[in-house]
Chain A
Amino acid sequence: MKTVPLSSLANVIRSKNAGPFLLTFDVLFNDKDIFSQVWESNAFAAENLAKLFGISANRIKSIYAMPKGNAIKFTLQRPRTQGSIGETDMYGCQQHSPLLDLPINLK
């Protein structure tokens, strides 16, 4: 077994608003096999993602695998409503960086 960062496996790692209250993350793979290994590695379990962002697991609203698109998606409650005072990222598109280093245990 070896551990590698997600950025060495995924083709696209992105964040974006899904409306003014939700922040959605997409991780896309070009290879079906790698996608399956990553999904099965349990790296995208709620507790793991919560730890990555330093939030409580109940802030993670949903986690999906989309095998036909070799894609993993998860969505968080935004720290604040889009555009409210204290906004740091209007489009929610620069919140993906912690995922780049997410350690994935491969068989």
Chain B
Amino acid sequence: MSEIKVLTPTCTLGYGFSTEGLERGMALNPDVIAVDAGSTDPGPYYLGSGETLVSEISIKKDLRQILLAARKANIPFIVGSAGGAGAKKHVDATVKLVREVAHELKLNFRLAWIYSDIEPNIVANAIRIGNVKDFESGTELTEDQALESSVIVAQMGHEPIVEALQNGADVIIAGRACDDSVIAAFPIYKNADPGLAIHMGKILECGAFSAEPHGTDVMLGRIDDTGFVLEPGSTTRRASLTSVAAHSLYERENPFLQYGPGHSVDLTDCSFDQISEREVRVEGSKFISDDDYWVKLEGVRLSGYRSISIAGIRCPSMIKRIDQILADVKAEALAYFDSDTLKITFLVYGRDGVMQELEPKKSEISKELCLIIDVVEKEQKVAHAAAHFISGTLLHCSFPGQFNTAGNLAFPYSPSEINVGPVYEFSAYHLMKIDHATEHFKTHFEEV
């Protein structure tokens, strides 16, 4: 097998890259451009709402440069977890942008897109026959929870992408996919060792985050029979032993054994070598195929509507009594609205807003606080009303030790209440057994 070169332009499609990095990277003649476009990192909202994580403006900007480069070099371009959450709406939105760019730049190619949505009743059926299990959440998924979910996606492995490549696709927009697999798919298609390919994918998928200095920029990997070499596209960055090894353990609990669709990769015997000032070589990653093919499900349900109010507090007497004041107003609001489903939360920045129960320095309080009043309720109208009731009560309340009787809160905005909109929560994060690697992942083709 001759060397296969993969170029990853950035950590997430839409976050951009340096022109110098891409130019230099393309000058090294990569065989494929592959990029991850999403994650559960930004939280459940994007999966539930169908909105793309990165703006369409930014995604399109990246697409223009990348599609041009890929077509000029006549190499495949693969996007995984399109639109951020990788459900049908996100895939469709990305495909629409690809068609627009192709039209504007007069590009022609064979386009493929792969959906990863799973109907809730399919998951419910799988639960009934014992094909769904928990691995990290601490509770088993029930049929009701599956059916309550508004959207569920499964993380595909490399196989559906390989199949699209086998069917001649030049540009592949895949729904939710295991990050490593998106990058590993082309090398595996060309017979690279899957353990090496997937480990390389794991590091490459974050772009130049595995480089020094780290950034949203181009990263290159070249894989041969016994290992792979990483280097950043831009000459202003380098791959170091620390930056590469560190990236193998990023966002995972176990640095040695890492699970993916239908497989795991054992990194226990990996070696990392600084082979030049800017390049690191990795060897020894081992692919272990599972007997059954399990995929990770990600599902969300609509849990209410949110309104918030943001206000600053500068008065020391108010700050000193803030806990009691907040407890009192919360109790008043709950009594006034008399609702089982009304949820009121306060974030107190300047004290423990960021770390909350993990904050070891709670007694260190700033001279000013930023208070966020967070209300979630079944109806937006009521959430808004409750948020305003609370901010109004806090603004006008009196308390012992008060000097300023004119108002207790410094609002930066009019209106003082902001409707954030629908709130989604994760309803499923479990493993489902499927018959084969491409079951449930439907692919469509089009000549653009």
Q: Name A's B-contacting residues (CB within 8 A).
A: 11-12, 16-22, 24, 26, 28-30, 52-55, 61-62, 64, 66, 68-71, 73, 75, 79, 81-91, 94-95, 97-98
Contacts and interface: CB of A to CB of B under 8 A. Distances in A.
Given A16-B250, A68-B271, 6 more contacts: A26-B249, A69-B242, A73-B249, A83-B43, A86-B345, A90-B42
B272 A68 contact: yes
A71 B376 contact: no
B136 A22 contact: yes
21 contacts: A18-B252, A20-B137, A52-B360, A55-B358, A64-B256, A66-B249, A68-B271, A68-B272, A69-B246, A71-B255, A73-B255, A81-B425, A85-B374, A88-B347, A88-B355, A88-B356, A89-B355, A90-B43, A91-B41, A95-B358, A98-B360
A55 B303 CA distance: 29
Contact of B360 (A17, A29, A53): A53
Contacts, number: 123
Point out which of A20, A21, A64, A71 has the most chain B C-beta atoms below 10 A from its C-beta: A20
Contact of B255 (A19, A55, A69, A90): A69
Interface string B353-395: 1111110100000000000001010000000000000000000
B424 interface: yes
B40 interface: yes
Contacts of A24: 251-253
B45 interface: yes
B429 interface: yes
A22 B253 contact: yes
B382 to A, nearest CB: 16
A53 B426 CA distance: 26
A75 B42 contact: no
Contacts of A22: 136, 253
B97 to A, nearest CB: 25
A18 B251 contact: yes
Contacts of A90: 41-43
A26 B246 contact: yes
Interface of B: 40-45, 136-138, 241-242, 245-246, 248-256, 270-272, 303, 343, 345, 347, 353-358, 360, 374, 376, 423-426, 429
B360 A70 contact: no
A66 B251 contact: no
A82 B242 contact: no
Contacts of B353: 88
The secondary structure that dominates the A interface is loop
A84 B248 CA distance: 28
A79 B356 contact: yes
A88 B357 CA distance: 10
Contacts of A79: 356-358
Nearest to A65: B255
A85 B424 CA distance: 10
Contacts of A88: 347, 353-356
B137 A21 contact: yes
A102 B31 CA distance: 46
Given A19-B40, A21-B429, A54-B358, A85 B251 contact: no
A20 B138 CA distance: 12
A69 B280 CA distance: 12
B253 A18 contact: yes
Nearest to B47: A83
Contact of B254 (A64, A86, A89, A95): A64
Given A19-B40, A20-B40, A61-B253, A11 B242 contact: yes
Contact of B429 (A20, A52, A87): A20
A40 to B, nearest CB: 18
A10 to B, nearest CB: 11
Contacts of A94: 354-355
Given A19-B429, A82-B43, A54 B360 contact: yes
A69 B345 CA distance: 41
Given A89-B354, A94-B354, A95-B358, A12 B246 contact: yes
Nearest to B306: A85
